[in-house]
Amino acid sequence: MTALNASGWRPEMNAGGADDSATFTGNRALMLEEPLIFEIGSTETTGVDFDSVVIGRPQVGNLYRDDPIGLPGLSEGETVRHYTRLSRQNYAIDLGLFPLGSCTMKHNPRLNEKVARMPGFADIHPLQPQETVQGALAVINELAIWLIKLTGMHGVAMTPKAGAHGELCGILCIKAALEARGEDRRVLLVPESAHGTNPATAAFAGFRVEDIPATPEGRVDLEALKARLGPDVAGVMITNPNTCGLFERDMKAISDAVHAAGGYVYCDGANFNAIVGKVRPGDLGVDAMHINLHKTFSTPHGGGGPGSGPVVLSEALAPFGPIPYAARYADGSFKLVEEESAGAEHPDTFGRMTAFHGQMGMFTRALTYMLSHGADGLKQVAEDAVLNANYILRSLDDVLEAPFGGSGPCMHEALFTDNGLAEGFSTLDIAKGIIDEGYHPMTVYFPLVVHGAMLIEPTETESKAVLDQFIGALRSVALRAKQGDPALKSAPHFAPRARLDETRAARNPILSWSEPAVAPGEPSLSELGGS
């Protein structure tokens, strides 16, 4: 196969934009357009050399892969340039404030990266003899102890691969516990303000989901919850602090009521960063809570993952937690409790939920972060995160509606609505406008319980000067939206792309690249969308 597109990126493909500069390449100085690897690479090109070349056909009979695969290669230099150019089209926490509510974009310390890459952690196999990985098992155990002490819980399941996987782990523990009691409770109560993963997880594990109503103050309605409890209710899934950025004041009373009715309390710990070192969920009657190591404990989000979602468990649920786990023995050695030893050491386990031992590469990073902060530093993390969020709340509540601002302080994130914007202007316009100011937008249209939600989470790693500038920028954009500035409707103007046509993408999905129908050198407009 020859080059898929010998002429490379064609300037015509960038033509037609109203604000296009008239450069030959379509580039604008440091803003560089980059074609797909399929348009610049060739199946003959490679960026890897080998020490030997194998002569002769592999001994695989008629399974030999004769037909072309269609995987283009690039030399090393071209590869570095391709991905470096792509990277520059991304916003990132390394570039500036990333106030995505509930997602907790805080600084990712680079010591974490260095430690995770130590060969003793990065280059060990999950099935090595256990005597050769005692340090790795010690890391898992040490991190587990930190998580247990920080939450005041009884045990922790370390294997879940992300937050939603942790939710699944907690819900399976509840299922197993109910089964052990011989009870078949089918309903999980989930507030409307919950992350979408909560109802999805409950359904994935075979539960029926029912809403819990909220009070006008944005919290769980305790009386309504009590009224719904009964022998068919397996438990509740409650986010605390919740997705409106508020602490559930009645958490202990909720737990007591659920327990009295024979159910269990799952807490979505996505917002644990607001209370780490200040409040222990174990003191509030929680039975299971996942902790997003990629949120509270600073492991990188990497453009969508990987995450890591250990689940702390109460005494009631710990016996049902998954295998494998790392146990410490009296002689100081560590051992994995796997299928073989589970019968003797962890007989009630619900089983295995992933192939190996969890996200080791995230464990090393999170433990590094915890050791760096210590118990005192983590307490300061929560306090500064809450301080920063309240500073934003009170600096903007004169220009944006803060639906629950009147009821008191928020926790780690500040919630606003789109009430009061000019006719035809919405939260989306504010979000796109703030992009032009050099920021990633806040979380928008979540939680669902207020109109046109804007959820702003600054985190503790932002300085006052950064917050002041952001507040000024958001104030300016909000005022433009209130005054109906038409330029806001077409924002962003200065990003690598203008608003993208998501309807078109969904209506006629193009999910992989295929060679253009027309010959190279004769680009047509239809190529732009590939339709």
Partner 1 sequence: MRYLPLIADDRSAMLATIGAATIDDLFVDVPAEARLDGPIADLPAHASELAVERHMGALARRNRAAGDGPFFLGAGAYRHHVPASVDHLIQRGEFLTAYTPYQPEIAQGTLQMLFEFQTQVARLFGTDVANASMYDGSTACWEAIVMARRITRRGKALLSTGLHPHYRSVARTMAKYTGDTLVDADPELVPGTDWADLAAAVDKDVSCVVVQYPDILGRIDDMSALASACQAAGALLIAVVTEPVALGVIKSPGEMGADIVVGEGQSIGVGLQFGGPYVGLFACKAKYVRQMPGRLCGETVDANGKRGFVLTLSTREQHIRREKATSNICTNSGLCALAFSIHMTLLGEAGLRGLASINHAGAHVAASRLADVPGVSVLNNGYFNEFTLLLPREARPVVHELAERDILGGVSLGRLYPGNAALANGLVVAVTETTTEADVAAFAAALKEVLA
**Is 336 within 8 Å of 342 (Cβ atoms)?**
no
Query: Measuring CA to CA, which residue among 456, 470, 478 is closest to residue 243?
Result: 456
Q: Does 510 bind partner 1 (CB under 8 A)?
A: yes
Out of 150, 189, 225, 396, the only residue in the binding site for partner 1 (CB under 8 A) is 150
Candidates 220-228, 261-269, 310-318, 371-379 — which segment interacts with partner 1 by CB under 8 A? Answer: 371-379
Interface region with partner 1, contact rule CB under 8 A, candidates 221-229, 261-269, 405-413, 472-480: 405-413
Which of 3, 14, 426, 476 lies at the binding interface for partner 1 (CB under 8 A)? 14
Q: In what order do the strands lie in the sheet with 311-313?
A: 155-157, 311-313, 288-290, 264-268, 233-239, 187-191, 208-212
Segment lying near partner 1 (by CB under 8 A), choices 50-58, 226-234, 256-264, 476-484:
50-58
Q: Is 247 in the site for partner 1 (CB under 8 A)?
A: yes
Q: Which of 4, 5, 10, 115 binds partner 1 (CB under 8 A)?
A: 115
| DSSP helix/strand/coil, 58 | coil
The answer to whether the CB of 298 falls within 8 A of the CB of 106 is yes
Taking every pair of Cα atoms in the chain, the longest distance, rounded to a whole number of angstroms, is: 77
Residues from 161 through 220 that contact partner 1 (CB under 8 A): 161-165, 167-168, 172, 175, 195-197, 199-206, 209
CB of 231: closest distance to partner 1 in angstroms? 20
Which one, 120 or 420, has the nearer CB to partner 1? 120
What is the closest distance, in whole angstroms, from the C-beta atom of residue 436 to partner 1 in the complex?
10
* Structure tokens, 134: 């005692």
Strand order in the sheet with 443-444: 414-416, 454-456, 443-444
Restricted to residues 254-283, the positions that interact with partner 1 (CB under 8 A) are 275, 277-280, 283
Q: Kindly indicate which of the ranges 44-52, 220-228, 413-421, 474-482 contains the residues binding partner 1, using the contact rule CB under 8 A.
A: 44-52
| 84 is an interface residue for partner 1 by CB under 8 A | yes
Q: How far apart are CB 438 and partner 1 at their closest, in Å?
A: 10
Among candidate residues 28, 32, 46, 36, the one with its CA nearest the CA of residue 4:
36
Binding to partner 1 by residue 46, rule CB under 8 A? yes
Q: By C-beta, is 262 or 356 nearer to partner 1? A: 356
Q: 381: Cβ–Cβ under 8 A, 6 or more apart, which residues?
A: 273, 276, 277, 373, 460
Show the binding pattern over residues 331-370: x = contacts partner 1 (CB under 8 A), - = does not: -------xxx---------xxxxxxxxxxxxx-x--xx--
Least distance (Å) from partner 1 to the CB of residue 172?
6
Q: How far from the centroid of its chain's Cα atoms is residue 367's Cα? A: 19
132 secondary structure, DSSP code = G
Nearer Cβ to partner 1 (127/487) = 127
DSSP one-letter string for 283-323 = GGT-SEEE--TTTTT----TTT------EEE-TTTGGG--B
Asked whether position 64 contacts partner 1 by CB under 8 A, the answer is yes
Length of the chain: 531
